[in-house]
């Protein structure tokens, strides 16, 4: 696979870089459109077209290192163990930025960072709640990843959800999962402070690209209308990280489609913009 921003950045070592890219081309449980295994490659290739200046700063000044892709062959539990090891390794050097792959890959990162940091919270951008106990009999389904997070006793804050089943509604109520759904984002002003005051200071950001409206990214397995627009997403990210410490993040569920360069580029820009927001939040 390519390196992130290989067209602009010299090869370097992980010790020199804050941002540690971990490609995870995993696809096993997608339930509608497929292709997420090619998501990391598409993001890395599209990153060659990015500008170093993101509009406010140069995130690449803090260093970006791209690790070898995680081996995603074999049973899901084995793959998750490899993801956990890869993220643990990346976290030794800097901030892991995982590129999926389907959303189930996030569980491997959460396990790694739970061991390293203990308590932290998740900010989830998504069209779906992903709170099913299991989907089609699989507890490791992409539709169950946030249920697994709650089992790890990691609190979750959800943004942009607009498609969920009755089971997920009940899980939300049972666990008191805070959220601002897509309908509310569209109809109401954003709160001045996005996250609850008692939400953990350390954050993991998971960004399923179907959280964005299909007019921004169409190349995803389940493009649900009525999603978050680009600048709204940037504002939400800025509000989420303000006064907090990001310990890792991911961009998942891109399913590249032939001829749709816009979706690939938007996912690469999203990844780089997240780095910039994290960079500026700590200055």
**Domain segments of the chain: what residues?**
19-282
Strand-pair partners of 135 = 138
Query: What percentage of the chain carries pLDDT values higher than 70?
Result: 98
Dist. CA 207–CA 127, nearest whole Å: 10
Helices 261-281 and 230-241: crossing angle in degrees, nearest 10, is 30
What is the band of 255 on the pLDDT scale with cuts at 50, 70, 90?
Answer: very high
E strand map for 45-88: 64-66
Average pLDDT, the chain: 95
Q: Rounded mean pLDDT of 92-106?
A: 97
Q: From the annotation, which residues make up the binding site for Mn(2+)?
A: 103, 126, 128, 130, 208, 210
Question: How far apart, in whole angstroms, are the C-alpha atoms of residue 178 and residue 181?
Answer: 10
Average pLDDT, integer, range 94-110: 97
> By the 8 A CB rule, do 64 and 4 touch?
yes
pLDDT in tens, 220-238: 999 999 999 999 999 999 9
Q: Which two tokens stand for residue 29?
A: 């449980």
Q: Please state which CATH class domain 19-282 belongs to.
A: alpha beta
pLDDT category, 153, cuts 50, 70, 90?
Answer: very high
Across 103-112, average pLDDT = 97
pLDDT exceeds 70 at position 117: yes
Binding site, residues? 103, 126, 128, 130, 208, 210
pLDDT for position 28: 83
| C-alpha distance from residue 96 to each of 91, 151, 191, 212, 278 (Å) | 6, 22, 29, 22, 12
Can you give the pLDDT at residue 98? 98
CA dist 101 and 256 (Å) reads 11
Q: Answer yes or no: is pLDDT of 32 > 80.
A: no
pLDDT-derived band of residue 282, with 50, 70 and 90 as boundaries? confident
Q: What is the pLDDT of residue 102?
A: 94
Across residues 188-205, what is the average pLDDT?
A: 96
Contact 269, 223 (CB under 8 A): no
Q: To the nearest 10°, the Cα dihedral for 49, 53, 55, 60?
A: 100
Question: How many other C-beta atoms lie within 10 A of the C-beta of residue 149?
Answer: 24
Average pLDDT of 172-197?
96
pTM: 0.96
Distances (CA, A) of 5 to 14, 65, 188, 279: 15, 10, 37, 17
Looking at residue 139, its pLDDT comes to 84
Report H helices in 93-133: 106-117
């Amino acid at each position: 696979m390519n390196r992130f921003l290989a067209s602009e950045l010299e090869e370097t070592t992980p010790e020199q870089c804050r941002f540690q890219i971990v490609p995870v081309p995993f696809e096993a449980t997608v339930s509608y459109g497929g292709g997420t295994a090619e998501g990391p490659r598409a993001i890395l290739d599209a990153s060659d077209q990015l500008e170093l200046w993101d509009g406010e700063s140069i995130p690449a000044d803090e260093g970006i290192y791209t690790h070898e892709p995680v081996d995603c062959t074999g049973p899901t539990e084995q793959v998750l163990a490899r993801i956990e090891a890869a993220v643990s390794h990346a976290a030794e050097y800097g901030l892991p930025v995982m590129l999926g792959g389907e959303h189930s890959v996030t569980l491997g990162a959460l396990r790694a960072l739970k061991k390293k940091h203990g308590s932290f919270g998740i900010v989830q951008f998504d069209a779906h709640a992903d709170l099913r106990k299991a989907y089609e009999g699989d507890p490791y389904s992409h539709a169950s990843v946030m249920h697994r997070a709650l089992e790890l006793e990691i609190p979750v804050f959800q943004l942009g959800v607009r498609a969920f089943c009755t089971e997920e509604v009940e899980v939300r109520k049972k666990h008191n999962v805070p959220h601002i759904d897509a309908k509310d984002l569209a109809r109401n002003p954003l709160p001045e402070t996005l996250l609850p005051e008692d939400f953990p200071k350390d954050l993991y950001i998971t960004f399923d690209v179907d959280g964005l409206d299909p007019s921004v990214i169409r190349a995803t397995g389940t493009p649900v209308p009525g999603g978050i627009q680009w600048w709204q997403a940037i504002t939400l990210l800025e509000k989420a990280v303000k006064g907090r410490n990001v310990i890792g993040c991911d961009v998942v569920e891109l399913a590249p489609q032939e001829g749709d360069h816009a979706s690939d580029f938007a996912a690469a820009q999203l990844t780089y913009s997240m780095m910039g927001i994290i960079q500026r939040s700590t200055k």
